Amino acid sequence: MIETKPIPTLYEWIGGMAVIESLFTSFYKKVLNDELLEPIFKHMSTSHQIHVAHFIAEVFGGPKLYSQEDGSHFKMIQKHLGRHLTEKHRQRWASLLVETADELHIPADPEFRSAFVAYIEWGTRIAVLNSHETELLMGLDEPMPTWGWGEPKGPYIP
């Protein structure tokens, strides 16, 4: 009988928490030096990048630090209300994150990058949608999204 190994989570594939925290620390340095994004993020707390890293880590199958320490998916989405983000903001944010991932040699295999970019696209589009609202388009009990190898499991947002 051939023994098969379990398929790693995206969290495991990327290299775990240290890699994700490094990615978002480096990424937000770029954000603060970006002409388009800096005005939106210049007042963020010094722990913002770690909160985002913990959120992404949890979505990718890592420890539930965000849920245990910072809140829920509802809380993350709530932070975008009334920010009036544009498609240009979204595209720049996403492209800077991918650029940073390349610079840090985050796994570049097509399967991982497809899943990684799919989540970034999905998440940033939800952020833009909610940034033009005064109330969330989802309920308080909305579960954290989970993302894997081509099988997204996030809430549908009309």
What is the spatial distance between Cα 86 and Cα 94, in angstroms, rounded to a whole number? 12
Q: Map out the domains of the chain as residue ranges.
A: 10-131
pLDDT of 100 > 80? The answer is: yes
Output the six-digit token pair for 64.
């539930």
Q: Determine the pLDDT at residue 60.
A: 95
Q: Angle, to 10 degrees, between the axis of helix 87-103 and the axis of helix 17-32?
A: 130
pLDDT of 112 > 80? The answer is: yes
Architecture in CATH of 10-131: Orthogonal Bundle (1.10)
What is the spatial distance between Cα 62 and Cα 56, in angstroms, rounded to a whole number? 8
User: In terms of C-beta density within 10 A (0-12 exposed, 13-18 middle, 19 or more buried), how is residue 94 classed?
Assistant: middle
When pLDDT is cut at 50, 70 and 90, the band that residue 157 belongs to is very low
